[in-house]
């Protein structure tokens, strides 16, 4: 695969399971893949996205929202503003499209967590979710550059 691929894991590593996204990004050691671990999505990432063909975002979610690792395709959406960690990858894709006239095919991997208190230790659910997320991301990459399904 000679196409540009980026993995962006985000979250606060000092808030236990909220650091899931960064941990996944750091654990991925793939050739032809740029892996970035950040505290939050920022507008500066738009330039990086403009130079890639496939982007995979990884973040934690509350286990009450979903008890399983979820993978969904993303399309740009400018209805949400970039405002720190509350930013949504869709708003970053929209910003990329506005500034550069292009945004990559993108996927969002969310991993459930239960402990978002101050600390650096992950819950057993988060640890298990990280392994599942890595497997799902590897599968996405192997089957990448197909058109995402919408709806």
| Residues of the chain under the 70 pLDDT cut | 1-3, 31, 78-87, 145-151
Compute the distance between CA of residue 97 and CA of residue 89 in angstroms, rounded to an integer.
12
pLDDT computed for residue 1 by the predictor:
38
Tokens of 100: 């550069």
Q: What sign does the dihedral 11-16-17-23 (CA atoms) show?
A: positive
Long-range contacts, stretch 126-133, CB < 8 angstroms, 24+ apart: 126/16, 126/17, 126/20, 126/60, 129/20, 129/69, 130/20, 130/23, 130/24, 130/27, 132/68, 132/69, 133/20, 133/24, 133/58, 133/69, 133/109
Write the DSSP symbol of residue 69: -
Q: Alpha carbon of 145 to those of 53, 62, 89, 150: distances in Å?
A: 8, 29, 18, 15
4-20 pLDDT tens trace: 899 999 999 999 999 99
Q: What does the pLDDT read at residue 80? A: 60
Pick among 3.40.50.1450, 3.40.50.11900, 3.40.50.10860, 3.40.50.1820: CATH of 5-142: 3.40.50.1450
Residues whose CB falls within 8 Å of the CB of residue 83, separated by 6 or more in sequence, listed in order = none
Write the pLDDT tens digit of every residue in 120-133: 999 999 999 999 99
The structure tokens listed for 41 are 């999505």
Q: Where are the domains of the chain?
A: 5-142
């Amino acid at each position: 695969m000679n196409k540009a691929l980026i993995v962006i894991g985000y979250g606060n590593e000092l808030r236990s399971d909220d650091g899931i996204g960064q941990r996944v990004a750091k654990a991925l050691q793939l050739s032809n893949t740029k892996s970035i671990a950040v505290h939050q999505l920022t507008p500066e990432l738009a330039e990086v996205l403009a130079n890639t063909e496939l982007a995979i975002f990884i973040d934690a979610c509350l286990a009450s929202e979903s008890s399983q690792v979820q993978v969904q395709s993303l399309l740009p959406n400018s209805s949400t503003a970039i405002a720190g960690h509350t930013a949504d990858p869709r708003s970053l894709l929209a910003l990329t499209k506005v500034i550069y006239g292009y945004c990559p095919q993108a996927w969002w991997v969310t991993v459930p967590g239960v402990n978002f208190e101050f600390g650096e230790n992950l819950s057993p659910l988060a640890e298990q979710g990280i392994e599942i997320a890595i497997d799902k991301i590897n599968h996405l990459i192997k089957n990448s550059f197909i058109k995402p399904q919408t709806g």
